[in-house]
Every structure is written in structure tokens, then in C-alpha cells.
Structure 1
Amino acid sequence: MEMIEKQLVSAPRNNRYILIVTALVAFLFIWSFSAVNIENVEESGWIIATNILQGIVSPDLDLLLNITSQGVLYLLVETIAIAFLGTIIGALLAIPLAFFSASNVVPKPVAFITRLLLIFIRTVPALVYGLMFIRVTGPGPFAGVLTIALISIGMLAKLYVDAIEDLDTSILESMTSIGCNTFEKIRYGIVPQLFAIFLSIMIYRFDMNLREASILGLVGAGGIGAPLIFAMNAYRWTEVGSILIGLMVLILLVELFSNHMRTKLVKG
């Protein structure tokens, strides 16, 4: 331990570099505070914030426990369905795009063009995609599923590429030397290396998509977002509290489940 401390003390330090970086970070931090202006918060804003907190403390239990199509439980299940189906579709579509983006699998020009396509997909916000699909399919959960699928492709393909480029190619070379064909190399050499990683990435994206599906309801793409904004616009704070409680519990449970699954996949 003492030897490590001596090495740290004796290591050369670039004080000028540290000073410049510290000054730059401090400047950006102070400059960012210029966007904070509490004076613009109206008195009605504080009242609304208080009412939201009161709604969470005393929610509308009839709405929260209602199992009809207008109840919170039904809307939460619909939100999960949108996120789950959208994640599955996006994950499947991302696989071929990931292989076309991997420079160790395809020629570099092909990989470059595919990566540009993925960058473009990731650039457009989810709400913009939601508004576009609503114009095509009309309001409803199907627009939400298509939006979730499309926004998932960009991130999933990017993370898939990292896993593909880290493949242990020595296994494939060994399989080639014993006369394995392409299908056998994919089935026994590539899939076992990538399956657990891809599944872990997909579970992580599903966790994110659950939040995205909640927000997409604000533009009419199904889920619990639309009733939430309607209740807030109508100042029905007990309903707002019921929806927020249901949403928080749902996200907490899904996050615990996804963390457990990812941990098992990594250990396995």
C-alpha cells in the first residue's frame, strides 16, 4: 500500500493541464446557471406543484385499481405491450444492420454507409417519429410500437457492433480448419458468443423503452401518457397521482427484473 502511495506521489503531474480543465469546467458550470431563473416561476406554478404532490399522497384508488380499459392497470399493461413488442421488432431488425456495420465482417465502405444510416436514425427524437407514424397509422398503440421499434434500432445496432467486433476469431479459424461450413460456424462459433450479450443489451433497451412508451402517449401513440396529460390539463390531481404511482411502481419492478436478468446473463 505504501509503495502505491509513493508511486502516486512521485508520478509527474501536469499542473497547467489540471488548472485549465478545472477553470473550463467551473466556467461551464457557472454559465449553465444563467439558464436558471426562479423569478419566472409564477405563483400558480407552485400551487400546481403542491396539488400534484397532494394527488400522489391521496390518489384516486378507484382509477388506480380499475381493470377496465379506462383504468390505470389496463393502461400500464398497454404501455408494457408497446415497449415489449417494439423492443423485439427493433432488436431483430438491428441484427442484420449490426453485421453490415461491423468492419471485421463486411468491407469498410459498406460498414461506413450503414453506420451513417444508424446515426441518422438515432438523430431524430422519439416524439418526432411518433408524430410521423400517427400520420401514417392514426393514433393508437400501433404507432407507439413502430416508434419504439425504430428508435431501438439505432442504439441496439451500435451496441451489437461493439460485440461483433470483439468476437474471438480464433474459434472460427479452428472451425474452418476442421472443415465446418458457414452455417456451422455461425451456429456454433458466432451465436454462442453473441447470444447472451445481445439478450442483455435488449433487456436494457426494454427498460429504456418503457419510459419512452409512457412519453409517446402524450402525442397519441397509445399507453399511459395521454390520460396523464389529459388529467393534468383538466386539473384532476387525484387522477394524476394515481397514474404517477402506477407508473413509478411499474418502472421500479421492470428495472429490478431487468437488472436481475442482466446479472444472471453476465454470470452465466
Structure 2
Amino acid sequence: MDTIEKQLSASPNNRRYLLVVTTILLVLFIWSFTAINLQNVEESGWKIATSILSGIVHPDLDLLLTFTTQGVPYLLVETIAIAFLGTIIGSILAIPLAFLSASNVVPSPVAWVTRLLLIMIRTVPALVYGLMFIRVTGPGPFAGVLTIALVSIGMLAKLFVDAIEDLDTSILESMTSIGCTTFEKIRFGIVPQLFSMFLSTIIYRFDMNLREASVLGLVGAGGIGAPLIFAMNSYRWNEVGSILIGLVILILIVELLSNNLRGKLVRG
């Protein structure tokens, strides 16, 4: 009993540390509230918020259920296509960059330069890439696909690198000792270790890209974002409600499917 009491009394006193951290966080929290100014919210703003809620409750069913190129189902399919194709292209380009960034695969200078390139890619927001590609290819889904692909490269390569650096190299050494070729070591030693992790990461990125594709439509890069902003600017709140309902349903379905697939991959 005396030994336990001595150990408790000898334990470091963190009260001062906790007090300092708590004080700093409290000051930052209070300072953040200075950015909130309800006086800037005009009466018309509250009316618009009420109109949006009314549009969701009373959506334009013709727009929500029609299967023409102007209908919500077609726009949602276009958004899925932009996110899917952009994710595939980004994944293909991210794999070699990930191997070039892994310090256990390539020399350290090469890995450092490649990681610097990936950091630069991740620095630029998706909307900025979208505006740049629209200037190059013109408005439309193709600009959205290129934007999604480029945005995906940075995150996917970073997560792929973590998986590559956690490879169990003892398996490769065992395969070398029994005379396996380089292709056999890649096929039976590396791919089985990385496939599930890579695929799980790609599915997660697709889930994120679906939201990115919806936002990119606001700048004219295809998808459902452009009709949404046009409807809001025209005060057609019933159409806004229809588009938001379709978007919420789509995100929920993709979320459930992606979580299910990723769970199965992780569990094997």
C-alpha cells in the first residue's frame, strides 16, 4: 500500500499544463465568436432560407421524376459518371507516384521530390482546378473529370504510400530465397498485401469525389451543381428542393454501399 502511495505522489502533476491548454482553447473559442455577426443577416435572407425549406417540403415532382436530360435522375447519373471516371484516372496515376514516394522502394531524394510534388497538388483547392480546366476545355463534364482526377492524385498517393511503407518485406525475402522472379514477387508478394488497402482507399475517395463533383457544377464543370445554382438565382425554390432531395438520396445510397464494401475489404 505504501508503495502505491509513493508512486501516486511521484507521478507528474499535469494540472498546470491542463490549465494552460484549457485557457488557450477557451480564448480561441471566444475569439472565434467575434466572426459571427447576426446584424448582417437581412430580413430577405431569412425569407430565402424559409423558401429553401419550403421547396424541399414541396419539391417539383416533374423535375424529380422525369428522365430527360434536364431531369434530376439524369443529372445525378452525370455526377456519378464524373466522380467515377475521375476517381479511376486519379487512382491509376496515383499508384506509380506512390511507389516513387515510398522511401523503402526508391532512394530518399527521389521520394522527397515526389512527395513535394504531391504536396503541391494537394495545396490547390478543387474549385481552383475546376476554373483552370474550364478555361482549357470549356464548360462541361470533361473539365469536371480532369479536376476530380487531379484532386484525387494527391490524397490517394499519400494513403498508398503509407500502405507501401508498411509492406511485410520478409515475404519478399523468402520468395527471393526460393528463386522467384520479380514478376512473381510482385504478383504473389506485393499485390495481395496492397490490393485490399488500395481498393478500400479508392472507394473512400470516390465517396468524397461524389460531393466534389456536385460542387464543381457550380463553376460549370458539369453535374448537378450548375442547375442547382441556376434554380437558386432564379428563385425557383421547388426546383431547388427537387435537386437537393435527389442529391441527398444519392449521397446516402453511395455512403451505405461504400461503407459496406470497405468494411468487407478491411475484414477480408
> What TM-score do the two structures reach when normalised by structure 1?
0.96
Query: What displacement does 1:176 show?
Result: 0.7
**What does residue 166 of structure 2 align with?**
166
**What does residue 118 of structure 1 align with?**
118
Unmatched tracts of structure 1, length 5 or more: 1-6
Q: Which amino acid aligns with 1:56?
A: I
Unmatched tracts of structure 2, length 5 or more: 1-6
Cα deviation, 1:93-135, whole Å, max 9, x if unaligned, reads 0000000000000000000000000000000010110011111
Cα deviation, 1:142-168, whole Å, max 9, x if unaligned, reads 100000000000000000000000000
Q: Which amino acid aligns with 1:44?
A: S
**What does residue 4 of structure 1 align with?**
none
1:154 correspondence with 2:154? yes
Paired with 2:89 and 2:224, the residues of 1 have a C-alpha distance of: 21
Q: Provide the secondary structure at the position in 2 that maps to 1:223.
A: coil
Paired with 1:32 and 1:254, the residues of 2 have a C-alpha distance of: 34
Paired with 2:80 and 2:8, the residues of 1 have a C-alpha distance of: 50
Paired with 2:114 and 2:27, the residues of 1 have a C-alpha distance of: 38
**What does residue 48 of structure 2 align with?**
48
Mean alpha-carbon deviation: is it higher for 176-185 or for 93-102?
176-185
**What does residue 108 of structure 2 align with?**
108
Cα deviation, 1:179-203, whole Å, max 9, x if unaligned, reads 1111111111000000000000000
Paired with 2:140 and 2:22, the residues of 1 have a C-alpha distance of: 49
Paired with 2:69 and 2:100, the residues of 1 have a C-alpha distance of: 43
1:250 correspondence with 2:250? yes
1:202 correspondence with 2:206? no
Cα deviation, 1:206-254, whole Å, max 9, x if unaligned, reads 0000000000000110000000000000000000000000000000000
Mean alpha-carbon deviation: is it higher for 175-184 or for 11-20?
11-20
Paired with 2:143 and 2:258, the residues of 1 have a C-alpha distance of: 25
Please list, as runs of the form range in 1=range in 2, the aligned pairs for 1:31-42 lying within 5 A after superposition. 31-42=31-42
Paired with 2:173 and 2:240, the residues of 1 have a C-alpha distance of: 59
Query: What displacement does 1:15 show?
Result: 1.2
Q: Provide the secondary structure at the position in 2 that maps to 1:180.
A: coil
Paired with 2:125 and 2:112, the residues of 1 have a C-alpha distance of: 22
**What does residue 223 of structure 2 align with?**
223
Q: Provide the secondary structure at the position in 2 that maps to 1:59.
A: coil
Paired with 1:157 and 1:17, the residues of 2 have a C-alpha distance of: 38
Paired with 2:130 and 2:188, the residues of 1 have a C-alpha distance of: 39
Q: Which amino acid aligns with 2:91?
A: A
Please list, as runs of the form range in 1=range in 2, the aligned pairs for 1:182-201 lying within 5 A after superposition. 182-201=182-201
Query: What displacement does 1:10 show?
Result: 8.1
1:91 correspondence with 2:88? no
Cα deviation, 1:243-268, whole Å, max 9, x if unaligned, reads 00000000000000000000000111
Q: Percent identity?
A: 81
Q: Provide the secondary structure at the position in 1 that maps to 2:227.
A: helix
1:265 correspondence with 2:265? yes
Query: What displacement does 1:12 show?
Result: 3.3
Paired with 1:172 and 1:26, the residues of 2 have a C-alpha distance of: 52
